[in-house]
Structure 1
Amino acid sequence: MALLVVVIISLALIGSIAFISMSRVNNLALKNVNVLGECAINDSTSALENLGAQIIGQKAKDVARQCEIYIKSHPGMTVADLQASAEFQEIAVQPVGETGYTALTDYETLACRFHKSPKLVDLDLHTLAQKLPGFWGVMEPTKGGKISFGYYDWEDPDGSIRNKYMYITPINAKTADGIGMHVAATTYIDEFLNPIVEIEDRINSVTEATRDSMDEQANYMQKIFIGSIFGILFTAFLIASLLSRIITKPIIGLAKSSDAIGRGELEQKVVVNTEDEIGELADSFNTMAIKLKNSYEDLEQKVSERTRELAIANKQLQEASQAKSEFLANMSHELRTPLNSIIGFSEILQEKTFGDLNERQKRYVSNIHTSGKHLLGLINDILDLSKVEAGKIELNYEEFPLKEMLSECQTLVNTMASKKNISLGFKVADGLSTINADPTKFKQIMYNFLSNAIKFTPDGGTVNVAAKPENGMVQVSVKDTGIGIAKGHQDMIFEEFYQVDSSYSKQYKGTGLGLPLTKKLVELHGGEIWVESEPEKGSTFSFSMPLRAEKELIEAPAVEEEKVSIKEEGRPTILVVEDEKQASELLALYLEEAGYQVVCAFDGVEAIEKAKELKPSIITLDIILPKKEGLDVLRELKSLPETKDIPVIIISIVENNELGLSLGAADYLIKPIDKKELIRKLGDFGFATKVKEKPVNILVVDDNPKDIELMTSILEPEGFGVIKAYGGKEGIDLAIEKQPNAIILDLLMPKVSGFEVVHRLKKHPKGKDIPIFIYTAKDLNEEEKQSLNDNVISIMQKGKYSKEDLLKDIKRVRKLK
């Protein structure tokens, strides 16, 4: 009996140990399953929430930049004008993800100005403060144009409450009626968490099923255990041994495997070689581990896909930025071409080349010239900025005296400073003599600093420049007594198009491009730029750059002195190669006024032919030409024995000085050109700069003597010599013999018509360069106009053109005055 008691006690003890171990394993396994599932869900939720917030914030900034550019490019538009603009509506209200959108609000009154729902436009958002306190908590801090972001609960039309994320950023521009706005981008957070919700459901389902299975198995084992106690009374030691082998060892293995799974080792399997309940429990563990592993891999895949989508979106943003820079560079070139004519012709009018101007005309021409120069400066800034961003700008390093360079910069701004009675001071530390840098870019940096300092300094103030060496660098500071800059704006003034306050843009004209360009030019030299300022006390703008450039100095190749050929009659002949007719006409005006004989070529092939035929004293060459590129023309001219000694000056919008000079160009000028600089360059080659001009003769060809007499009465009082021809054949003969400066031609003539006259003269070497004006009573059809357009200067209708119109048309060609 004692032995049975001992056996029963032993069995009870062993059973209790087994039961406690099994319960512990069960609880531990359930705990680890729950912890693993919650960790996986929480980590993934946090990752996707952060990714979603970044996407929403970036969208708000992108829309703010687009709105800023539109408002600045339409400075006269009010909020009402913008609300009426469908184009601006598309910019202001854009989708964010699948369910979100952007909206614009007034950051002073916090009233909604643009929204996808028309009924919310002009809604005062203060009215939502009590109903939606979370929304108001994100919106209220933005008053005054500040940035805010955060999560809030939003009530949908069906009454359900869903969580949203909103990012609010200001637009750095105000409307014409002084309204400042910011962009609010918002969307539902669960849009980014849908993958997590699906996986959470699956994990909870697996966990719940596992928990039920384990509870069921535990209950079943408890019943087996109680029944076994009574049955084992007859075979105590055998049952105790079997229980130790069948229950204890598998449960210990199950516990170890459960711990491994809890640590995230989802490949771990429970190895139990039994077909009883423990084996089934082990199978349940293995099934659970497989499902958890699959769910975790699925979650990782979805996170990876979202990460890849963000990477693609980031790449697209970079490509868009690159495309913007290239677009700006190309558009700037296109804009500089017509500006060349605007500035050049306005200069000619100011010089009274075609007669005196009254005071109003002088004022208007001066306004045209000044505005053209201002626009050219803006376009040059845009071009330089876009070239820096696109990585296409190169620095031409030279060693130059710093003191002399600063003196040149002072000369550039002296007039600007004297108008405001501002005192300029320059101080260079002893021992600081020369610097290796790009002199043109250095001068541009200094000019931007100095012009800004003068612009924002009141009348009677001071601007001081100081330069000193600092650890192998040169440090230059420009200190003014101007209006100063608040600390919160000091980092932002180096951003493109940014201005401290929109009211400044009205009082102090500017585009916000000067400082960003200056910063990029300084950084391109390997330096840095910074500002120290205090409102109402002034600012100190400083930059530093290496005294000795690390790059190898780029020097322009030496150009041998060219031989100069002078025509016997003393008028040097210049071949102008330019495909733009206005630019060609402008150059011809410059050169003929200076006493040169000018011949024009409008493509590369024609340029080479005329150079070989005429052997001009000098050639001006554009780079961008039809039929044959300018650089190819230069190569061929320098390879031909009859043209290799003719000096070639490249005049082009394209900045490629090094290549042009290396191919043999005598000099390189960038459009728009300065007339005085061009004439000075020609003087450097030894040309006579002014000779007595020959009288201007015009051949009038018409079969009607009355029309010829009328034309003579108009032309002779204006100082023109008139050659008369009363038929087409006579006109051709006189044109070849007399070589007039221009021809006025009727089309309706017997025997040889005006069309035939044009055709024959343009094929004759001595007649092809004579300008022809058509003056006819014939109504031309499109085919006839097309046949004449490339061969005549203009087509004038008899009876419709006044004397003034006629003279204006004639005088606009070169030197017909």
Structure 2
Amino acid sequence: MADDQATGTGGLRRRLTLAFLLVGLLPAAVAGVLGVRQSLHAAQAARLESEERLVALSAEAVAATLRNGLHILRAAGGEDDLRRAVLAGDRTRLAREVRSLHDHSPAFASVLVLDATGIALANSLDPAVVGRAFRNRDYYQGVLRSRAPYISPVPYVGAATRVPTLAIAAPIWASRREFIGVVAATFTLERLSQLLAPASVVAAGGANRGGDQGEVYLVSPSGVVLAHTDPSKRATTVAASDAGAREALAGRRGSVTWTDESEGVRLGVFAPLPEIGWGLVYTRPYHPILFAMPYLFPGILPALIVVLAAAALAGTLAARQLSRPILNLQRAVARLREGDFAARLPEDRRDELGALAAGFNRKATALQDLYTNMENKVAERTATLKTTNLELARASQVKSEFLARMSHDLRTSLNAILGFTDLLLTQEADPLTDKQQRYLAHVANAGQHLLGLINDILDLSRVEAGRLEIHPEPCQVAPLLEGTLALFRTQALARRITLTLEIVSPLGELMADRIRLQQILHNLLSNAVKFSPEGGVVTVTARQIGLELELVVQDRGIGIHLEDQERIFEMYEQAGTAEGRQKGTGLGLAITKRLVELHGGRIQVASTPGQGSTFTVRLPGMAPTGAERADADAPRPLVLVVEDDLQAAELIRDHLTQGGYRVVVVGSGHAGLGAARRLRPHAITLDLGLPDMDGWEILYRLKRDPDTQAIPVLIVSARDQGRLGLSLGAVDWLVKPVDPKRLFAALQRCRELGTPRRTFRILVVDDEPVVLEALEALLTREGHEVLQASDGEAALRQAETARPDIILLDLHLPGLSGFEVVGRLRQIAGLEAIPIIAFSGKFVSPEERTLLTQQAVQFVGKYGAVAVNRLLDDLRQISSLAN
């Protein structure tokens, strides 16, 4: 007894037993019978009330745990750090995030993150599941359908926990409420069963004081037992006769009796979890014999009347004493539910209710400490992440600046090496010996290889920084394929490799970045030739499928093992063993894949070791064949009118039709470029204010495209900028409203173009002496007079005194930059219309390119053979138009 008092257990049981004995002494009389019966009924009702409240407390504990878990997941799904990690696919950072969530949420068995397609990106318990597809899990499907937090209704064996498990999940949103993934947490059925502790106290106390063990279980809407005090009954299905489960799932609370075929009559106390549709049931055997006890003592009523009164008083006092702590517990739980973590119960009792109050206070204190620590740690980690992000940003900026400086210096040196090598190889005055030419060819090949490596590294830096961009334009696919294959024929011939191009169906135009499209095919052909044995065969197949272009590059080389086919598109990866690998950075296929994806396409590989590989590229943007060409062969000259104003277009069309011309009208820049390539008109009238493209950009593209550069262009605009338009290659400038006489006179001049090209006085501006020397030799060989300037101020002085015909300008000069030189030149009378061709060894952003276009500056790209060829093409084009 002393031990019971010390531990605070057994006191309540002794008081209840004493009350029952006092009531049992009064069965002798009708009044005693009524009193005993009332006392017994009151005791039964009190017990049911106690059981109902404890069951409700357990239900609230389960609901609160799930609610808190969903709150944590919802908050995590909205955090910037987790969102950025999912968008970047940064699995290392995601692993840290899910471990942090797991560490600060002990109730979770595991925490995992899925991307929008259901692929696991991180798992706090078992990293081995990363990369697996979980799109068939009900919690992923539930979040995907509802875009809201979700609780699994049925347990399953977890991939990480490997035991019966339930999951809760919440969506991960991007900054504009775009669904990008799912963050989920799991609870084992063992953990859910531990939450039934308050109701389990009643179950452990015995059903009717006779030692029959009660049971507490949690049931889902489908009748599956999610948690149970008996581990063997978890994840089973409740019996059809279980009325308690039916009532709880119907959303009601209270008690009910029913008959079970194997266990007889049972009493069930139930409570719903309305927020999630579950039910909690406490069941025990039901013995009605208790209610017959008043009839067992009919002869002692006269002697126990006084005891009856005392028993009634004692019963009233006992009921009040028993109900007070339970009511206090109910109020404290309500305060906790409302977020008041300071709610506590008095610990002035030394019985089971006192022990329950002490346990409740300990849990409340632990929950309060958990939330306080979590807020502190979130603040600390937020500060740490901010510091880390700043450091990463600085490191990225340093890397970008280093790459920019390195590329400029390397390209400058390579430009001199390749330029002078080309001059030596092509000179006729003092021919070289065969050995000297062979040596110089080796130098040129090595330089081009080094230039390719530098380009790959710079493209990689842009991929990592998200700055790799494309500039789509209409491209004729067949000539581009033939030209790219021609670059490899010498290399293939040296190793007796057969290069074949098969065009299965007629190919139209493709809206793509011409340079990047050639780079895609170049990288695939380079690998195919590199890994083919001597005497092998490389086949390029092209076909148009609907509005998509399919390119297939097939070789009969060494092939790729299945386990290597996924990672060959990763950075710095090459398939095969170290002994069998070829030279290169391992960046080609990674950059190729990114370029294909930037075009909205996809790339696949199929390969068998020892039999070869097949790379398939699908690109959207093929134009359907038009009906305009059917009229192109008519005898009357054709004029293409590019004008979005319907009235202006109709007026020009009527003038031209009356003058004996055929007319095709288009209302956008892209349509105009495509029609010019298809129809090859005798002339084009171009409006500068089109909705989709700047008119200067259209003129630039027309004059850069070999298929359209010879077509005369008449600019039609409300602004008078004739000198500027003529400097960019236009034949004439017509101010709206169009004068028909001037229009027909300009069209007549279009037929007279074709006089021999002339030579120019060209001012070359660059701060690198080797570049100046190389360009001077190149331009002198073309017959032009060359002036030199090494900085912006000198360039302005030379331009004002020498009045050059054309200026070749490096954009990144020391002191006064090339952009500032352009701005100053456009403000000097007499120099504002000088054609300017710009180049650079550094990265030029899209915004800077747009600025150059607006100032009528042609940009030929970075140093290298491609830039030099574009420079000579521009000069020849200007020469042919100058007369």
Pair 1:634-2:822 in alignment: yes
8 Å CA contact 1:661–1:668 kept in 2: the answer is: no
Of the candidates 394, 404, 414, which is equivalent to residue 339 of structure 1?
414
Q: Do the aligned partners of residues 60 and 379 (structure 1) sit closer, same or farther apart at CA in structure 2, a change above 3 Å counting?
A: same
Alignment of 1:95-494 (within 5 A): 233=307, 235-236=309-310, 238-243=312-317, 245-250=319-324, 253=327, 284=358, 287-288=361-362, 290-298=364-372, 300-301=374-375, 304=378, 308=382, 319=393, 323=397, 324=399, 327-351=402-426, 364-494=439-569
8 Å CA contact retained: 2:540, 2:553:
yes
| Equivalent in the alignment of 1:528 | 602
| Matched residue type, 2:788 | C
Cα separation, partners in 2 of 1:677 and 1:35, compared to 1, 3 Å: closer
CA–CA distance in 1 between the matches of 2:861 and 2:422? 18
SS at match of 1:233: helix
Question: Is the counterpart of residue 670 in structure 1 residue 862 in structure 2?
Answer: yes
8 A contact 2:347–2:357 mirrored in 1: no
Deviation at 1:370, TM superposition (A): 2.1
- Classify 1:472/1:236 alpha carbon distance in 2 versus 1 (closer, same or farther; 3 Å): same
Q: CA 1:509/1:354 → structure 2, altered by over 3 Å: closer, same or farther?
A: farther
Task: Answer yes or no: is 1:591 the counterpart of 2:779.
Answer: yes
Secondary structure at 2:857's aligned position in 1?
coil
Q: Is the 8 A contact 1:29 1:255 kept in 2?
A: no
Secondary structure of the structure 2 residue equivalent to 1:542: strand
What secondary structure, in the 3-state scheme, does the structure 2 residue paired with 1:541 have? strand
Deviation at 1:494, TM superposition (A): 0.9
Q: Which amino acid aligns with 1:600?
A: Q
Q: Give the alignment's Cα RMSD to 1 decimal.
A: 5.8
Inter-partner Cα distance in structure 2 for 1:522 and 1:166: 31
Write the letter of the residue equivalent to 1:582: V
Amino acid aligned to 2:726: E
How far is 1:31 from its partner?
Answer: 8.5
Change (3 A) 1:430 1:43: closer
Q: CA–CA distance in 2 between the matches of 1:167 and 1:544?
A: 33
1:539 match: 613
Check the 8 A contact 2:791/2:814 in 1, yes or no: yes
Q: Is the 1:341–1:582 contact (alpha carbons within 8 Å) kept by the matching residues of 2? A: yes
Equivalences, count: 530
- Map residues 623-772 of structure 1 onto 2, 5 A cutoff: 623-644=811-832, 646-654=834-842, 655=844, 659-665=851-857, 668=860, 670-673=862-865, 678=871, 681-686=874-879
C-alpha separation between the residues in 2 aligned to 1:275 and 1:368?
Answer: 96
Q: CA deviation at 1:249?
A: 3.6
- Within 2, Cα distance between the matches of 1:329 and 1:397? 25
Structure 2 letter corresponding to 1:511 = T
The answer for the alignment partner of 2:650 in structure 1 is none
- TM superposition shift of 1:366: 3.6
TM-score of the pair, normalised by structure 1? 0.52
Q: Does the C-alpha gap of structure 1 residues 368 and 240 become closer, same or farther in structure 2, counting only changes over 3 Å?
A: same
Mark the runs of 5 or more structure 1 residues left unpaired by the alignment. 64-96, 98-148, 152-163, 170-203, 216-229, 564-569, 688-817
Which one-letter code corresponds to 2:600 in the other structure? Answer: G
Q: How far 1:376 sits from its partner (Å)?
A: 0.8
CA distance in structure 1 between the partners assigned to 2:592 and 2:89 by the alignment: 28
Task: Determine the C-alpha separation between the residues in 2 that align with 1:477 and 1:344.
Answer: 35
Map of 1:492-571 to 2, 5 A cutoff?
A: 492-503=567-578, 507-548=581-622, 555-558=697-700, 560=726
Cα deviation for residue 571 of structure 1 reads 8.8
Q: Of residues 590, 599, 615 in structure 1, which corresponds to 2:803? A: 615
Deviations 1:498-525 (A, max 9, x none): 1113526x65222111111111111111
Displacement of 1:331 after TM fit? 3.2
Task: Please give the alpha-carbon distance, in whole angstroms, between the structure 2 residues aligned to 1:251 and 1:561.
Answer: 95
The answer as to whether partners of 2:601 and 2:619 remain within 8 angstroms in 1 is yes
Cα distance in structure 1, aligned partners of 2:762 and 2:69: 79
Q: Quick check: 677-686 or 272-281, which moved more?
A: 272-281
CA distance in 2, matches of 1:275, 1:667: 89
Q: Which amino acid aligns with 1:531?
A: V
Q: Give the 3 Å change call, closer, same or farther, for CA 341–353 of structure 1 in structure 2.
A: farther
Q: Spell out, residue by residue over 1:553-594, the C-alpha distance to the aligned partner (whole angstroms, 9 max, x if none).
A: 67443463589xxxxxx9954322111222222222333455
Query: 1:492 Cα deviation (Å)?
Result: 0.9
Letter in 1 for 2:529: I
- In the superposition, relative to structure 1, how do residues 368 and 20 fare at CA in structure 2: closer, same or farther (>3 Å)? same
**Equivalent residues of 1:484, 1:533 under 8 A apart:** yes
Cα deviation for residue 332 of structure 1 reads 2.4
Runs of at least 5 residues in structure 2 that lack an aligned partner in the other structure: 1-25, 75-80, 94-98, 100-121, 131-193, 206-303, 624-668, 671-691, 701-724, 730-757
Q: 1:562 to 1:36 in 2, by over 3 A?
A: closer
How far apart, CA to CA, are the structure 2 residues paired with 1:387 and 1:279? 68
Match in the other structure for 1:600: 788
Distance in 2, matches of 1:493 and 1:317, equals: 31
- Contact kept? 2:559, 2:607, Cα under 8 Å: yes
Could you tell me how far 1:542 is from its partner in structure 2? Answer: 1.2
Question: Quick check: 1:622–1:650 contact (8 Å CA) kept in 2?
Answer: yes
Instruction: Identify the range of structure 1 (514-523 vs 256-265) with the bigger mean alpha-carbon deviation.
Output: 256-265
Aligned residues of 1:575 and 1:598 also touching (Cα < 8 A) = yes
Distance in 2, matches of 1:471 and 1:321, equals 46
What is the deviation of 1:664?
2.9
Aligned to 1:698: none
Rate the CA distance shift 1:622–1:599 in 2: closer, same or farther, 3 A: same
Residues 332, 382 of structure 1: 8 Å contact kept = no
Determine which of 557, 564, 575 is the counterpart of 2:763: 575
The answer on whether the counterparts of 2:505 and 2:544 sit within 8 Å (CA) in structure 1 is: no
TM-score by length of 2: 0.49
Q: What corresponds to 1:146 in structure 2?
A: none
- Given that 2:555 and 2:614 are in contact with CA atoms closer than 8 Å, whether structure 1 keeps it comes out as yes
Give the distance between the partners of 1:400 and 1:32, measured in 2 at CA: 68
8 Å Cα contact 2:764-2:809 kept in structure 1? yes
C-alpha separation in 2, matches of 1:632 and 1:652: 14
> C-alpha displacement at 1:641, in angstroms?
3.4
Q: What SS does the corresponding residue of 1:503 show, helix, strand or coil?
A: coil
- The C-alpha deviation readout for 1:271-308, integer Å capped at 9, x for no partner, is 99999989977965774464244134235436745875
**1:641-660: CA deviation from partner (whole Å, max 9, x where unpaired):** 33345443323325565543
1:560 alignment partner, SS class: helix
Cα pair 1:409 1:447 within 8 Å, conserved: yes
> Matches of 1:585 and 1:254 in 2, distance apart?
95
Query: How far apart are 1:547 and its partner, in Å?
Result: 2.1
Counterpart secondary structure, 1:536: coil
